[in-house]
Amino acid sequence: MIIRAEHLTKTFRTRRRGDGVMGTLTSLFSRAYDDKLAVRDVSFDLEPGELVGYIGPNGAGKSTTIKMLTGILVPTSGECSVNGIVPWQNRTQNGKQIGVVFGQRTQLYWDLPLKESFELLRAIYGIPADVYERNMAEFTKVLALDEFIRTPVRQLSLGQRMRGDFAAALLHNPPVVFLDEPTIGLDVVAKEAIREFIARTNRERGTTFILTTHDLNDVEKLCDRIIIIDHGQKLYDGRIEAIKRRYGRQRILVAEIDGFCADCEIPIPGVRKLSQAGARVSFEFDRERVSADELIVALAKQYELKDVTISEPELEAIIREIYLKGLGVDAPVAEALT
């Protein structure tokens, strides 16, 4: 177990501020506080080499959790450890073994050329010369850094900066890396490049990743396991496949039928006709009750089929339902798919 969180809880206490001048003045002397429970009683374990998606709607408590694991926030209660080290008690020790990418802010030195930021990091982490050379060579190639390695960071585009940030986070070979929205604001190609880099690092170096993102394609392409939190509480922790199976039972079959059919109904329980546009008819079916095979056979008996496509439920549609309704209701994903 390389990362563990046990009953992790964080409450933010903010001084209550009044409105206007009088409000500001009285708030200077009052002891009124607002408590905000950002993370409540969250527990999970990660094995070395896992790449876990940590997702949840805005304000769910994802960044707060990551800040506790990196040692920059002290938990209000509960415990956590990274590689056996309690981050907030031993921030510097922990700092050596983790890498962090915050999509929202850079860890590169704003005034310095990218290359010099790396040199400085080399001194900060005491990276041995051979490790530094090897990593620089690899990252320069994989992330195509040489186009802008001499450019001051403040002149880099977001995509370039993000590539620089990834190199910076991994330069000291950390066994654990936290990514907080690393693909935010990137174009499709840049996102793909970053995903490829994460997957490659995870595969080749066995680096453990926790990935926070609002782009579920990131998660779908990279992670086997996701943890979903909302309002600070853990809602789900398990395999993506399982959540798809459990909450995405409905699939869609679109058939193109030769010739006219006024009322193409299939009288099988678990199948429902959704729409019809000319020769294209869509059916929604519950894959627990009817297999795609059965449905196609039944259709073929009645009609001349020209083409058939079946669509998987998209993770995004499932997650949206979970955010909106929680885990209780079975997600009617069909709507989202038509």
Partner 1 sequence: MRIRPYVEFAKRAFSREGTYRTQVFTHIGSVLLRVFLLSMVWTALYRNNGEQAGITLPAMITYATLALLLDLIYGVNGAYVIREKIREGSIAIDLMRPISVPFYVLADTVGQTLFASMQIIPALGLSLFIVHLDAPATLGAAFAFLVAVLLGFVVNFFLDLIMATITFWTMEIFGVQLMVQFISSLLSGSLVPLYFFPPGIIQQLAFASPFAAIYNAPLSIYIGKVTGLQIVTTLGTQVVWAFVFGVVALGLWRLGERQVVIQGG
Ligand X SMILES: Nc1ncnc2c1ncn2[C@@H]1O[C@H](COP(=O)(O)OP(=O)(O)OP(=O)(O)O)[C@@H](O)[C@H]1O
12 or 323: CB nearest partner 1: 12
Q: Which stretch binds partner 1 (CB under 8 A): 118-126, 188-196, 225-233, 315-323?
A: 118-126
Question: Of Mg ion, partner 1, ligand X, none, which one does residue 222 interact with (CB within 5 to 8 Å by kind)?
Answer: none
The tokens describing 3, both together, are 């990362």
Question: Of ligand X, Mg ion, partner 1, none, which one does residue 310 interact with (CB within 5 to 8 Å by kind)?
Answer: none
Torsion angles phi and psi, residue 190, rounded to 5: -65, -40
Residue 60 binds ligand X, judged by CB under 6 A: yes
102 or 197: CB nearest partner 1: 102
Radius of gyration of the chain (CA): 25
| Minimum distance from residue 180 beta carbon to partner 1 (Å) | 8
| Minimum distance from residue 133 beta carbon to ligand X (Å) | 36
* 6, 12, 221, 272: residue in contact with partner 1 (rule CB under 8 A): 12
Task: State the DSSP string of 229-267.
Answer: EETTEEEEEEEHHHHHHHH--EEEEEEEEES--S-----
Question: Of Mg ion, partner 1, ligand X, none, which one does residue 61 interact with (CB within 5 to 8 Å by kind)?
Answer: ligand X
Q: Angle 26-32-33 (CA atoms, 0-180°, nearest 5)?
A: 130
Residue 98 binds partner 1, judged by CB under 8 A: yes
Instruction: Provide the pairing of β-strand 225-230 with 233-239.
Output: antiparallel
Nearest CA to 235 among 335, 321, 317, 334? Answer: 321
| Minimum distance from residue 230 beta carbon to ligand X (Å) | 9
Residue 59 binds ligand X, judged by CB under 6 A: yes
Residues 192, 115 contacting (CB under 8 angstroms): no
Torsion angles phi and psi, residue 210, rounded to 5: -115, 125
Query: What b/e sequence results for 5-34 when a residue is b if at least 16 CB atoms lie within 10 Å of its CB, and e otherwise?
Result: beebbbeeeeeeeeeeeeeeeeeeeeeeee
| Minimum distance from residue 159 beta carbon to partner 1 (Å) | 20
What's the rounded Cα separation, in Å, for the pair 46 and 103?
Answer: 22
| Minimum distance from residue 213 beta carbon to Mg ion (Å) | 10
Residue 120 binds partner 1, judged by CB under 8 A: yes
| Minimum distance from residue 60 beta carbon to Mg ion (Å) | 8
Beta-carbon-side half-sphere exposure of residue 145 (alpha carbons within 13 Å): 28
Q: Which residues, including other chains, have CB under 8 Å from residue 9's CB and lie 6 or more apart?
A: 37, 39, 40, 41, 42, 75, 76, 77, 78
Interactions with ligand X, residue window 292-311 (CB under 6 A): none
Residue 65 binds Mg ion, judged by CB under 5 A: no
72 or 327: CB nearest partner 1: 72
Q: What is the DSSP letter of 171?
A: T
Which residues would be at the binding site for ligand X (CB under 6 A)? 12, 14, 36, 38, 56, 58-64
Which residues would be at the binding site for partner 1 (CB under 8 A)? 12, 28, 63, 67, 70-74, 88, 91-93, 95-96, 98, 100, 102, 104-107, 109, 111-112, 116, 119-120, 123-126, 180-181
